[in-house]
Amino acid sequence: MYIGVDDTDSVKGMCTTYLATEIIKEFSELDLIGNPRLVRLNPNVPWKTRGNGAVSLRFGKGIGKPKIIGQIDGKDIKCYETGIGAKPTTEHFKRACQLVDKLAYFDDEKTNPGLILTHEKPSQKLYWQAVRYVVEKKPHLKTANPKFHKGWKNGRGLIGSISATAWRPRDSTYEIIAYREEKKWGKPRKIDTASVQKMDKSIKTTFNNYDYEEKHMAIMPSSPCPILFGIRGDIENDLHKVKDIVQSEKAARWIIFLTNQGSDDHIIPGSISSLEPFTSVKVWGTVTSSPKIIEGGHLIFQISNGKKTVDCTIYEPAKKFRWIGEKLLPGDVISVYGGVREEPFTINVEKLFVEKLASVSEKVANPMCNSCKKRMKSIGKNQGYRCAVCGKKASEEKAEFSVIKRKLKTGWYEPPVGSRRHLAKPLKRN
């Protein structure tokens, strides 16, 4: 039995991953098969609540030796690598619906929960569609055809609950999420900064933990949700260690999720000539304009593939990443990864690869008159030079030029940890 759920949270509270822990508690008579999954979907959909993350869990009869993946109210939570899935019943469905009724944040108009229970895993194409494109609920539901489903309000969360359940990892990472005691929800979080830095430096397989320049603790959410912190990494066993290093207020529960975070699954290899709004792409082009900072502190430059030109924007929250973009010059060849925005039409740069730097020269001196050994004088803008002594003329290009030393190197660049997309593959994972 797979249970998929999505869109139960709001910027004002709750978190769908917390609901996952409640589902684990509710179905404790069954074995959990595999880690609970936290699946991020297309970050460009206009109506997403927060990080556009859905969850999926599998229950049944486990086979082999279980592993510990968390703790809820002092009790160890275990899961089995494999097992035989249970058949979902009306009773299971009723119990799952009650949890959504009790915990989802219905007051927010953007919160439209969806829930499915199914014995069969939906086709993986439903995941790829939802992580890369804007999809409609009806055809998604028709293709998946789950045994039980319910949508609350406009039921848009059904798309996520189906897509998360449909995910077969091509690339995957883990996230350990620790939750706060209920009485502390909405109050300031207590996490010791030095201990987070220590964890970041000692557990090398984790990523997106701490921004040393902005002094920003990226593991800690800023919303009033039940999450205390979330730490991402490539090795599940290493995430068991982090909770002993990070010093914080007491966590009431913690769970290690399997996720598609940091996978670049949302990126479609594309071309500047065929950009579709609300998708994320990887495109190649030559810089055609000098980068400019516009109102709001955003940086804009243009790239072209020889046929078409498109604006690329590095938004203000990307902070120092903008100063990389600012060093680009016309002629540089780059690959841009980012979300395509409809209005204004632009690529919201998530990371970039500088393939080739243009050789740019600047004039350092007027031409020399070979007869008089004197520097010539400019006749006027773009009109060449003339020797003031003998009257000999020289064209513009006879001046002395020197190649500008570029302040940029070829290679990869990405925004600081605090302003990365959940799905964006951090360079640390390359």
Residue ranges in contact with Zn ion by CB under 5 A: 369, 371-372, 387, 389-390, 392
Structure tokens at 156: 């848009």
* Reduced DSSP (H G I as helix, E B as strand, rest coil) percent helix, strand, coil of the chain, to 5: 20, 35, 45
Rounded to a whole number of angstroms, the minimum distance from the CB of residue 373 to Zn ion is 8
38: left (phi > 0), else alpha (psi -120 to 50), else beta? beta
Q: Answer whether the bond into residue 344 is a cis peptide, omega within 30°.
A: yes
Residue number with CB closer to Zn ion (241 or 375): 375
Residue number with CB closer to Zn ion (328 or 369): 369
Rounded to a whole number of angstroms, the minimum distance from the CB of residue 374 to Zn ion is 6
Rounded to a whole number of angstroms, the minimum distance from the CB of residue 383 to Zn ion is 17
Rounded to a whole number of angstroms, the minimum distance from the CB of residue 399 to Zn ion is 15
Rounded to a whole number of angstroms, the minimum distance from the CB of residue 388 to Zn ion is 8
Structure tokens at 2: 């797979």
Residue number with CB closer to Zn ion (25 or 393): 393
Residue number with CB closer to Zn ion (97 or 372): 372
Residue number with CB closer to Zn ion (235 or 372): 372
413 contact partners, CB below 8 Å, separation of at least 6: 321, 324, 351, 352, 353, 354
Rounded to a whole number of angstroms, the minimum distance from the CB of residue 381 to Zn ion is 22
Return phi, psi of residue 267, to 5°: -80, 125
Q: Decide if 261 contacts 241 (C-beta within 8 A).
A: no
**Helix or strand (DSSP H, E) at 161:** helix 157-166
Residue number with CB closer to Zn ion (294 or 379): 379
Rounded to a whole number of angstroms, the minimum distance from the CB of residue 384 to Zn ion is 14
**Beta strand residue intervals within 22-172, DSSP E:** 31-32, 37-40, 53-63, 67-72, 75-79, 82-85, 114-118, 148-151
Residue identified by tokens 């007491």 is 250
Residue number with CB closer to Zn ion (270 or 384): 384
